[in-house]
Amino acid sequence: GAVVSQHPSRVICKSGTSVKIECRSLDFQATTMFWYRQFPKQSLMLMATSNEGSKATYEQGVEKDKFLINHASLTLSTLTVTSAHPEDSSFYICSAETLRDPGSDIQYFGAGTRLSVL
């Protein structure tokens, strides 16, 4: 299967700082990636669709100025949580679909990034 890597796996930061999370497709190109957020004991919530070379599409209720997404290459998308506050503490997960299996629509997920804002 295709491999999606996320970095860092865990980050602790002070309130008011910005945190960048990287999502890489290691062995395939991904023109589209997705970002999710998951709070404890809850399901994954889709935040945005990241499109290579264009603006991300955000889901309703997700602040685009708060969660900056950049998809500058076919293998890398980044999510920056700007001016993080304790309520932003969550598990952030990215996913991508490989063109290697056209029509399969299988999403491959990263291992996730646990953000703790103090």
Partner 1 sequence: DAKTTQPTSMDCAEGRAANLPCNHSTISGNEYVYWYRQIHSQGPQYIIHGLKNNETNEMASLIITEDRKSSTLILPHATLRDTAVYYCIPITKTSYDKVIFGPGTSLSVIP
Q: Any contact of residue 115 with partner 1 (CB under 8 A)?
A: no
Q: Which stretch binds partner 1 (CB under 8 A): 11-19, 60-68, 79-87, 96-104?
A: 96-104
Enumerate residues 52-71 that contact partner 1 by CB under 8 A.
none
- Contact call for residues 60 and 38 (beta carbons, < 8 A): no
Distances in whole angstroms, Cα of residue 58 to Cα of each of 3, 14, 26, 38, 101 = 24, 26, 25, 16, 26
Under the binding rule (CB under 8 A), the answer on residue 93 touching partner 1 is yes
Q: Which of 45, 62, 68, 74 binds partner 1 (CB under 8 A)?
A: 45
Distance CA 30, CA 101 (A): 12
CA 72, CA 41: separation in Å to the nearest integer?
Answer: 33
Does 91 contact partner 1 by CB under 8 A?
yes
28 binds partner 1 (CB under 8 A): no
Q: How far apart are CA 68 and CA 55, in angstroms?
A: 10
Residues near partner 1 (CB under 8 A) are 1, 4, 6, 31-32, 34, 36, 43-46, 49, 91, 93, 95, 97, 103-112, 114
